[in-house]
Amino acid sequence: MFKELFTHLSAWYLSALNHGGYGAVALLMAIESSVVPLPSEVVIPPAAHMAYTHQIALTIPGIIIAGAIGSWIGATVMYWVSRLAGRPLVLLFGKYFLITPEKINGAERWASHYGPVGVFFARLLPVVRHLIGIPAGIVRLNFLTYSVYTLAGSAIWSAVLCLVGVKAGQDAKMLAGDMHHITIWLIGAVAILGGMYYLMVHRHMHARSTDARK
C-alpha cells in the first residue's frame, strides 16, 4: 500500500516538475514558507534526485535558486500580513491556520534573543522556519534586512536538501526502488532535523517561557 502510494506521488511530482519546471519548485516552497504545513523535505530532495538522474530537465543550481526565491515569496507574505495586521489580529486569526499563541510567543522570543541573524538561522530549522516572518513583521524589522537573511538562509537550506537528494540518487538500491533504503534516508533526515530543533529552538523556548512565568 505504502509503495503504491509513494509511486503515485512520485509520478505526480515528476509530471508537475516536467510541466511547471522551476516555477513548480518555487510555488511549493512558497507554500512551505507560509502557514500551510508542507515540509520542504518532500519538495527539494525529490526534485534534486530527479534532476541528478536526468528524469527532468532541471539543474541543481536552478533548483536551489527556485527554492530560495519561493521561500522568500512565502516568507514575504507572512511578513507583510503580520506587519499590516498587527499582533492582535494575528493572534485572533492565527488559530484557524494552526498558529497558536504559544507558537507566536515562542517565535517572538527566538527573534528577540537572536535578532536579525535569527531570521537566517530560522530558515534552517523546523517549526520556526515558517513562523519567523510573524514576529519580524510585527516588530517592523527592516524589510531589506529581512529579505537578505531570508534569501541567504533559504538558499543554504535548499542546497543542503539538494545534497540529500543527490546522495539519494547515488544510492543504487534506492534507484532500484528499494523502499527500505528510501526509509533509511528519510529517517536520517528527520533525526538530524529533530536534533537541530531540540538544541537550537526547543530548549531555548522552554527556558525562556519558564523564566517568563517566574
The reported pTM is: 0.73
User: Over 60: is that where the pLDDT of 171 sits?
Assistant: no
- Res. 191 pLDDT band, cuts 50 70 90: low
Among the residue ranges 77-86, 119-128, 183-192, 198-207, the one predicted with the least confidence is 198-207
Give pLDDT, residue 214.
47
User: Cα-Cα-Cα-Cα dihedral of 39, 113, 147, 31, to 10°?
Assistant: 20
Provide the pLDDT for residue 32.
85
